[in-house]
Amino acid sequence: ILDKTRKLLAECGAQRAAKMATLLMFSDISAQKEASSLLCRPTSDDQGPVYERMSLAYSPCSERFTVGERSFSRQYAHIYAARLMQMRPLLSDRAQQKWGPDVLIRKLCDLQTGEQCCIVGTLFKRMELQPSILKEISEEHNLLPQPARAKCISETDELILEDELQRIKLEGQIDRDKCVTGSVIAIYGAEKNDGKFTVEDFCMADLPLQTPRPALSSDRFVLLVSGLGLGSSHADSMLGLQLLVDMVTGQLGDQGEQSGAATISRVLVAGNLLSQSTQDKDASTKPKYLTKKTQAGSVEAIRLLDELLCQLVASVPVDVMPGHHDPTNYTLPQQPLHRCMFPLSSVYPTLQLASNPHQASIDGVRFLGTSGQNICDIQRYSSMDSHLEILEDTLRLRHLAPTAPDTLGCYPFYQKDPFILEECPDVYFSGNAPTFESKLIKGPDGQEVLLVTIPVFSSTQTACLVNLRTLACEPVSFSAFSADDDEERCGGLWRCGDCGRWG
Amino acid sequence: MDELYLDNIDEYVNDQDKIVTYKWLSLTLGVHVNTAKQMLFHYLDHKRKESSAQLNATYLVSGKFVDNGQTCHKVSVVKEDKLEDFKSKMSLIVSVHVYSVQKALLKDSGPLYSVDYDAVKDNMKNCSRYSAIRCASAVPVCSPELQQTREIQQSPTPEPENKKPGMNGEANLASKPSTKPQRGIMGMFANKSAPKNQDGGKDVKPEQKEDAPVVDLHKGKPDVKANPMTNFFGSQAAIIPDSPQRMETREPSWSPKKKVESVSHSHQGNSEMKTRKRRRVLKSRTFLDDEGCIVTEKGYESESYSEAEDDVQAAKRAPRNPVAAKLSSSTKPDEKRSHKKTSANANKGTKQASIMGFFQKK
C-alpha cells in the first residue's frame, strides 16, 4: 500500500503542475505547495507548521437592523408610507431614464382616462389562497384551519397598485405570478374606460450605487454556511460539521490545505443553527404537570452550538446570524442571539453575534444578506422557485423583504424602512437554500455583485467559500461513510461489502 | 524523535480497544496534528510489517471534485479499501492522510465523531493548541473587561423592578445597577441575606453555592467546583477556572435559569430578587381604625421567605389567587392593582389565552 500511495502522490504532483494555469480555486491554491506527505514517519525536527490566520479589517454595520425600544402599539401602515416616500424619487428617476425625460408621472388621483403616463406605487396582490386569520375564525365560513401551503398563488389573483391616496387594478404586460405584495415599482401605461390601468411596461428601482471595492493583493476567503441544524434527532450530519470545523481551524489536511485554510479570514453562519425539532411549539399549550421538570429542546442544542462555536472562535472570527428556528425574536429584523447562551465562546472577541439581516464590510468588501426567510416567503407567494432568481429580484427591487409586513413578520417601524437597500453590496447572500447557487451580476451603473444562495448544511453537507479578491464562489462539501455505502448492486444481485457474500 | 509513541498507540488500539483519531492522539500526546497523522501512519505501517495485525484505518482525502459540471472542494473520510477509488474520482488531490486507526472494521463513521467530540470536550480551552493555524485575535478576554462590556450592554434596557418577574434573568440584573451582574444572579439563588452578599464575591460564593437549590438539579455530576453561577454568563470570576472545571459546571449553569422560570410561574407580583425572596401573601391584618374599632382585614403583604418553604407554599398559593381576586376588601390602590395582576396571571396559568376570546358573543 505504501508504495502504491507514494506512486500516486508523485502522479498528483504532475497533475498539480498542469493545473496551475487554470482559474485558482481554493483547491488549487491549497495544492500548490510543495508535496509534503503526511503518509510517512514523523521527522525528528519541528513540531509542525503553524500558519497565521489572515486577519482583515472588519466593520459591522449593525445599527441599521437593531431594534431599540420596542413599541408594538403602532400600525404597520407607517412602514408602507415610509417605503413609498423613500422610493418614489428613485423610481421617478428610473422612469425618466427608461421612458424619456418628459414622461408624465402622475399620482393616481390625477389620472386622466386614456392618457399615457407613468404611475409609481406599491403593489398589492389580492390572493384567494393567502392565509387569513379573519377568514379562519369567521363563523360564517365555518372553515377549519388550513395547513400551510407550499404555494399560495392561484388563477384568481389580482394585482393592484396603491399610492398614498388611492389604488387601482392592473392588467396587461405584467406577470402577476412573479410579483409580490409590497414591491414598489413604476408602471407605464394608461387608464382605460373600465377603471383599470393597462400596463405597457414597468420598471423597478434597480441596484443602488456602489462604491467600488478595493483591489486586493492576495487571495483571501470568507466561508459562508447555514442550516447547521443542531439538536435534531438525526445526528448524521455531525461528522460533516466536525470536518468543516477541522478544515477551517487547520486541524485536518495536508500542509497545503492548512496554509490554504489560514487564508479563510472569516466564517459567517447564516441562520438555523438549531434544528426545527428544537422548537417545542406545543410547550405553551401542554399542561404544567407534563412540562414542569423537562428542559426545552433548544437547551441541549445551544450547548452543542456553544461548544462548536468555541472551537471555531479560538481560531477564526465568526459572525453568527439567527434564523427561523433559532431562539431569538420571530419578526424581522431578528436580533442577535444573546451572549449569555454562549458562555464558552463569548469570552473570545472573535465571536460576533449578528442580526438577521446582517450587513458588514470585510476588508472593504461589503456583505449583505439574510438567513433566507425573506426569500422563502416570496417563493410561497409567487411562481418563482429558484432562490437565486428571487434573490436577484429583491436586489433589482432594491428591497430586502418586500413581503414584510404583509406575510412576513416584521417590526412596525415608524419613519423608516431599514430593508430598503441604500448602498449596493458586493456580496449579497441568503441562507438556508435547498441548493448552492451563485451568480455574478452587473448593474446599470457599473455595479458588480456576487449573489450566493447558501445551502442547508444539515442536508447538503455543503458550505461556500467566497474569494474576496475575485468575488468567485466555490462550494466546499464534506462527506463520511455509512453502512449503506457497502452494498454494491449488480443487476438483481447485490454483494455485501464486508463478507463478500452475494445476495 | 523517540518511538515511544508506537507503544502508546499500540496500547490504545490493542489493549484499550480504542478508536484512535489523529485529533485524539494529538490532544492526548500533546503533539502537532500533523505529527499525530504521521505517527498513526508509522504505527500502521510498522505493525503491518511486523505482524499481520488485525488493524483497520480510515483516511482523509480532500481535493477538487467535479460533479455535473460543478467543481467543488471536497473533504471526505473514507475507509481504507475505498481510498484508491475515491482518489481516482478526484480531479486534483490536495490532502491524503490517516484519519484514524482501530482494531474493528467501522461500518459507520459515527464513532469517529464521538471520539473527536469527547476529545475536544475534555480540552475545550486548548482545542486549537495543536492545530496548524494560530489566530492572533482569538485571545479570551479577561473578566473585568467582559463585565464592563456586559454592564454597558445592559444599561440601555430600562427594566422597572416589579414589572417582569423572572422573565429574563438579565432583566433583573439590570434593575440593580449598584451590584455587579454576578452578584445579582448569585442573589437570586442564595439563601443568605442581602448584606452578606455585598461583601467580597469569592468567599461568599462557595458557601452560597452549597445552599443553592442548583445542587438538587444536578444529574449526579461529582464535585461541582466554585462559581457555577458565574459561568451562567461566562467566566466572570477573577479566578479563571480551567477547562475541566468549566465543563463540569456547565450543567448547573442551566439550572438557575430553570429555577428562575419556576419562580415566575408561581405568580409572584413582586420580582425584587434580593437574597431572600419576597412574595405577596394574603394575610389577615388586625388594627385599630379611626373610630377606635378593631378591624380585621385581609390583604396582600410582602414577606420574605426562603426557598425551602416555597415549594410547599406554591401548591397552596395557586388556588388562593383566584379567590383573592374576588375579595375586594383591601383599601390600598396598589394592592388592588396587584389583585388584578395576580388574577390575570392566574388566568394565564390555568388556561391558554385563545384568540377566540376577542370574538366572543356577549
From residue B48, alpha-carbon distances to A7, A417, B37, B43, B44 in Å are 20, 68, 17, 8, 6
> Would the pLDDT of A11 be above 80?
no
Q: Give every CB contact of residue B336 below 8 A, 6+ residues apart in sequence.
A: B328, B330
Q: What is the pLDDT of residues A311-340, one digit of tens each?
A: 999 999 999 999 999 999 999 899 999 999
Per the model's pLDDT, the better-predicted residue between A20 and A434 turns out to be A434
Computed over every residue of chain A, the mean pLDDT equals: 85
Shortest CA distance to A447 belongs to which of A208, A127, A108, A139? A208
CB contacts < 8 A (A, B): 281
Per the model's pLDDT, the better-predicted residue between B319 and A404 turns out to be A404
How far is the C-alpha of A437 from the C-alpha of A68, rounded, in Å? 35
Residue A291 neighbours by CB distance under 10 Å: 15
Q: Which residues of A touch B23 (CB under 8 A)?
A: 246, 251
Instruction: Search chain B and give the residue with CA nearest A496.
Output: B107
Q: Which residues of B touch A20 (CB under 8 A)?
A: none
Identify from B47, B128, B153 which residue to disrupt to test chain A contact, counting A C-beta atoms within 10 A and taking the largest count. Answer: B128
Q: Which residue is it, cell 487554470?
A: A22
Interface of A with B in 406-445 (CB under 8 A): none
Using a CB–CB cutoff of 8 Å, tell me whether A288 touches chain B: yes
| Complex ipTM over 0.85 | no
Give helix A238-248 / helix B110-122 axis angle, nearest 10°. 50
Yes or no, beta carbons of A252 and B265 under 8 Å apart: no
From residue A398, alpha-carbon distances to A161, A206, A297, A386, A421 in Å are 18, 6, 38, 18, 5
From residue A56, alpha-carbon distances to A218, A398, B331 in Å are 12, 29, 66
Going A313 to A316 to A319 to A322, the CA torsion angle's sign is negative
Beta bridge partners of B133: A51
Yes or no, beta carbons of A256 and B62 under 8 Å apart: no
Yes or no, beta carbons of A2 and B113 under 8 Å apart: no
pLDDT at residue B147 in the model? 60
Q: Which residues of A touch B33 (CB under 8 A)?
A: 48, 250-252
Please give, rounded to a whole number of angstroms, the shortest distance from the CA of B283 to a CA of chain A. 27
Instruction: Search chain B and give the residue with CA nearest A6.
Output: B96
Half-sphere exposure of B106 (CA within 13 A, CB side): 27
How far is the C-alpha of A378 from the C-alpha of A398, rounded, in Å? 14
Q: What is the pLDDT of residues A186-215, one digit of tens each?
A: 999 999 878 899 999 999 999 999 999 888
Interface of B with A in 169-198 (CB under 8 A): 169-170
How far is the C-alpha of B176 from the C-alpha of B200, rounded, in Å? 17
| Stretch among A119-128, A490-499, B207-216 having the lowest mean pLDDT | B207-216
Q: Which residues of B touch A230 (CB under 8 A)?
A: none
Using CB atoms within 10 Å of the CB of residue A145, give its burial: 0 to 12 exposed, 13 to 18 middle, 19+ buried. exposed
How far is the C-alpha of B273 from the C-alpha of A255, rounded, in Å? 55
pLDDT at residue A8 in the model? 56
How far is the C-alpha of A370 from the C-alpha of A453, rounded, in Å? 10
Which one of A262, A338, A349 has the shortest CB-CB distance to B133?
A262
Q: What percent of chain A has pLDDT over 90?
A: 55
How far is the C-alpha of B209 from the C-alpha of B317, rounded, in Å? 28
CB contact at 8 A, B76 and A485: no
pLDDT at residue B268 in the model? 42
Helix ranges restricted to H, chain B: 4-10, 22-29, 33-50, 83-89, 110-122, 143-154, 169-174, 181-189, 194-198, 201-211, 243-265, 307-326, 333-350
Using a CB–CB cutoff of 8 Å, tell me whether A300 touches chain B: no
Yes or no, beta carbons of A251 and B33 under 8 Å apart: yes
State how beta strands B20-21 and B92-102 pair: antiparallel
Interface of B with A in 8-67 (CB under 8 A): 22-23, 26, 31-35, 37-39, 41-42, 45, 60, 62-65
Q: Which residues of A touch B32 (CB under 8 A)?
A: 47-48
Instruction: Search chain A and give the residue with CA nearest B127.
Output: A311
Yes or no, beta carbons of B133 and A52 under 8 Å apart: yes
pLDDT at residue A71 in the model? 84
Cell of A42: 514523523
Q: What is the pLDDT of residues A211-269, one digit of tens each?
A: 998 888 888 999 999 999 898 877 677 899 999 999 999 999 888 889 889 999 999 99
Q: Let me know the angle formed at the C-alpha of B356 by B351 and B362, rounded to the nearest 5 degrees.
A: 105
Q: Which residue is it, cell 406545543?
A: A282
Yes or no, beta carbons of B117 and A31 under 8 Å apart: no
Q: Give every CB contact of residue A112 below 8 A, 6+ residues apart in sequence.
A: A106, A191
How far is the C-alpha of B229 from the C-alpha of B251, rounded, in Å? 11
CB contact at 8 A, A348 and A147: no
Yes or no, beta carbons of B113 and A317 under 8 Å apart: no
Using a CB–CB cutoff of 8 Å, tell me whether B121 touches chain A: yes
Yes or no, beta carbons of A254 and B94 under 8 Å apart: yes
Instruction: Search chain B and give the residue with CA nearest A477.
Output: B74
CB contact at 8 A, A322 and A294: no
- Cis geometry, peptide bond prior to residue A333 (ω within 30 degrees of 0): yes
Yes or no, beta carbons of B134 and A52 under 8 Å apart: yes
pLDDT in tens, chain B (362 residues): 567 888 888 888 888 888 999 999 999 988 899 989 999 998 988 888 888 778 899 999 999 988 888 889 999 999 998 899 998 999 888 889 999 999 988 888 888 999 989 988 888 887 888 888 888 888 888 765 556 655 565 554 444 434 444 344 333 333 344 444 444 445 455 444 444 434 433 443 444 443 434 333 334 344 444 444 444 444 444 444 444 444 444 444 444 444 444 444 444 444 444 456 677 777 788 888 778 788 888 877 776 666 544 444 444 444 444 444 444 444 444 444 444 444 444 444 455 567 777 776 65
DSSP characters over A369-420: EESSHHHHHHHHTSS---HHHHHHHHHHHTBS-TTTTTTS-B---SS--TTB
Shortest CA distance to A183 belongs to which of A165, A164, A160? A160
Using a CB–CB cutoff of 8 Å, tell me whether A148 touches chain B: no
Q: What is the pLDDT of residues A332-367, one digit of tens each?
A: 899 999 999 999 999 999 999 999 899 999 999 999
Q: What is the pLDDT of residues B156-185, one digit of tens each?
A: 444 443 444 434 433 333 334 444 444 444
Going A304 to A306 to A307 to A311, the CA torsion angle's sign is positive
Yes or no, beta carbons of B109 and A482 under 8 Å apart: yes
Which one of A39, A68, A482 has the shortest CB-CB distance to B97?
A39
Q: Which residues of A touch B65 (CB under 8 A)?
A: 477
Task: Please tell me whether residue B233 adopts helix, strand or coil conformation.
Answer: helix
> Phi/psi of residue A7, each to 5°?
-65, -45
Please give, rounded to a whole number of angstroms, the shortest distance from the CA of A338 to a CA of chain B. 10
> Would the pLDDT of A418 be above 80?
yes
Please give, rounded to a whole number of angstroms, the shortest distance from the CA of A254 to a CA of chain B. 5
Residue A163 neighbours by CB distance under 10 Å: 18
Yes or no, beta carbons of A315 and B133 under 8 Å apart: yes
Helix ranges restricted to H, A262-316: 288-291, 297-313
Yes or no, beta carbons of A252 and B156 under 8 Å apart: no
